Structure 1
Amino acid sequence: MKEKILEVIDKKIRPYLRSHKGDVELLDIEDGVVRIRLLGQCSGCISADYTVKDVIETSLKEKIPQIKKVELVNCMSEETLDMARKILGRNS
């Protein structure tokens, strides 16, 4: 199933996200639940929930019926952490 998911991500989802200066990382697949992380400009975007449900989950379920849902694992990107460190005047 992982290969099918990666194929859909590469062919359909990633081009859409890259047009918005973002990307996606597949983290885990368990019992039909796909866990992902959004990267780049998509990380922390106010439309992230829409993107996950209406773009990513819909695209994956359309091609792979065994998928029950897609969960977004939120975390700050390294770029965001670096920017926060600079603002706060911290090096680590």
Structure 2
Amino acid sequence: MLEQVEKVLEKVRPMLQSDGGDVELVNVTDTGVVQVRLTGACKGCPMSQMTLKNGIERIVLKEVPSVKRVEAVD
């Protein structure tokens, strides 16, 4: 599952990088929780939670059905 999630993140990276940010895969738990770290301009941005839920999580859940949710970690 880790490799599948990384492939999906490669698809969303250009969008984040165009605004000076990025996303790093930290872990995928046995319970289907994807843990990511937002970096660059995304770290601390007031819109980062919306980016995480409406952008990253939506795409990951669609393309990797075994994932339950995506959460940001520090």
TM range (shorter): over 0.9
Aligned residues: 73
- Residue 15 of structure 2 aligns with which residue? 16
Q: Deviations over 1:39-60 (max 9, x none)?
A: 0000000001001100000010
Give the structure-1-normalised TM-score: 0.76
* Structure of greater relative contact order (alpha carbons < 8 Å, 6+ residues apart): 2
- Residue 51 of structure 1 aligns with which residue? 51
* Between structures 1 and 2, the one with greater strand share: 2
Task: Calculate the aligned-residue CA RMSD, in Å.
Answer: 0.7
Give the structure-2-normalised TM-score: 0.94
**Gapped regions of structure 2 (runs ≥ 5):** none
- Where in structure 1 do 4 or more consecutive aligned residues deviate above 4 Å? none
- Residue 28 of structure 1 aligns with which residue? 27
Shift of 1:73: 1.0
What is the percentage of aligned positions where both structures have the same residue?
42
